[in-house]
Chains A and B, each alone.
Chain A
Amino acid sequence: MNKKISLAAIVLSVLAVIIALWSVNKLPAAISSQKEDTLARILKTNTLTICYATWPPSVIKDPNTGELSGFLIDAIKRIAEDASLKLAYVESSWGGFAADINTGKCDAGVAGFYPMINRSTAVAFTQPFYFAGNNGVVKSGDNRFKKIQDLNRADIKIAVIQGEYADTYAKKYLPKAQLLVLESSADNTAPLVAVSAGQADVGLIMADVTKGYAKTHLEVRELFAEPYSVTPISWATRQADQQLLNFLTNGINYLESTGELDALAKKYNSTWFTEKKNYQLLAQ
């Protein structure tokens, strides 16, 4: 009996290795094999399915009713309305949105996505249309830091979320500091809670989170009065769906040109930034 079970274990192990090797070769081919014209299907079915990840005030999910709001959600609603499309929503996560888009769970990702180079190899991003500020929190009485480089010391412990902008930034620009890298599925206040709980000296995350957290937690304050850097914000589609990407980009440009996008951001008290554009008459 034991011999038989050992044999089964060996067969299983061999099988597992074969499946794993096969998966490595098969996966990219499977992803790139989706050749369906997504925009044509969307227009035919009148339904645009979007993946969202909550990050108030850009994407808010009412905890009691589950209803979605936020200025990015309102923006996509406006675009869908003008194109006579219905919206269907799929909840995603920051770590899982590329997989959700590529596995066809949705047509586009609508949230404050940071179009990093490595992410751009997995999904296509619209032109950035906003810039989110980055800031942090420290204990209320901690006045050691005047500029971001003051954090680059071996005795400073910085809490960040894995894969988030601050994680990349701290690894590149604050190499001497100790990093407390929190799991990517953690909620967005996790680096700030680490400061409240005394687990880290500084918690870094987007400024809209630090602002809200510092307002409700007297034991901490915002690291700086102004964000130490900004992160470009885009929406995402599958690499092959360039027509859908154009459609979304045109939608965003239209809302920007009519001033509706900024009006929506203001309605939700966004702390994000926009580029100031100067226009002048060609004939001048």
Chain B
Amino acid sequence: MNYTWNFNVIAEYKTAILNGTMLTLELTFFSLIFGTILGFLLALAKISKNKLLKYSAIIFIEIFTGLPLLVLLVWLYYALPIFTGFRISALPTAVIGLSLNLAGFAAEIFRAGIQSVPKGQTEASLTLGLTKFQIIRRIVVPQATKLIIPPLSGRYVETIKLTSLSSVISVDELLHSGQNLISVSFRPLEIYTVIAGIYLIIIIPLTLVLKKLEKKY
């Protein structure tokens, strides 16, 4: 193929690419924090004996694991304001959408991890006089962590990749910045190549750190 590559445009617009990368990291950071906290609370609700909490959690998880994230983002951004009259700008919409998506999957991961600890151990700990908090901290969490970390790591990496979907609602993350840059420079192949490289630069070290964590626990 006689295509002439020209990467000069990258140097010229490095600020745009850097800004896009920073926004991708920002989106990822907040989505991981909110998604993990919400996911953990949903897991507790799902295994709770309170039926209202339990079924609310089940419904929430079914909705947000069942909805494709792209559809969720577009719905939150365009349809929700019509139904509620509540307008929300693109960046918070993306954080909410990504967090809800992660929370649904993380809840199932946390629940599976917590429920993998045999009930007998909890009952034995209670008879030994440990408080519920002590049982969670010393018995459940150390054993559940081993099972939770590998799938949760996978979801975290997936969430980073999913941030690119927020470009459809015009969030100026890495892909959207790249698309704007393409409209000015007419150099799509070079720009998409650099974007792919940046995603790998973000994801590969994170994957290595998460694998080390898996080994540690």
Q: A residues within 8 Å of B by Cβ? A: 5, 8-9, 11-12, 15, 23, 26-27, 30-31, 54-56, 60-66, 91-93, 95-96, 99-100, 102-105, 185, 187-190, 193, 196-198, 209, 212-213, 215-219
Contact = CB atoms under 8 A, between A and B. Distances in A.
B55 A55 contact: no
A8 B58 contact: yes
Chain B interface SS verdict (over half): helix
Contacts of B189: 193, 196-197
B87 A8 contact: no
Contact of B62 (A12, A62, A190, A218): A12
B50 interface: no
A123 B152 CA distance: 44
A63 B177 contact: yes
Query: Size class of B's contact patch?
Result: 35 or more
Interface string B69-101: 000000000110111000100100000000000
B4 interface: yes
Given A63-B13, A104-B81, A219-B3, 12 more contacts: A23-B83, A63-B180, A64-B15, A64-B16, A65-B15, A96-B170, A103-B81, A104-B87, A189-B186, A197-B189, A213-B186, A215-B186
A216 B187 contact: yes
B4 A217 contact: yes
Contact of B1 (A93, A197, A213): A197
A92 B170 contact: yes
Given A63-B180, A104-B81, A12 B186 contact: no
Interface-central residue, A8, A187, A216, by most chain B CB under 10 Å: A187
Contacts of A219: 1-4
A35 to B, nearest CB: 13
A54 B183 contact: yes
B79 A23 contact: yes
A204 to B, nearest CB: 16
B33 interface: no
B78 A96 contact: yes
Given A8-B58, A12-B62, A189-B182, A93 B168 contact: yes
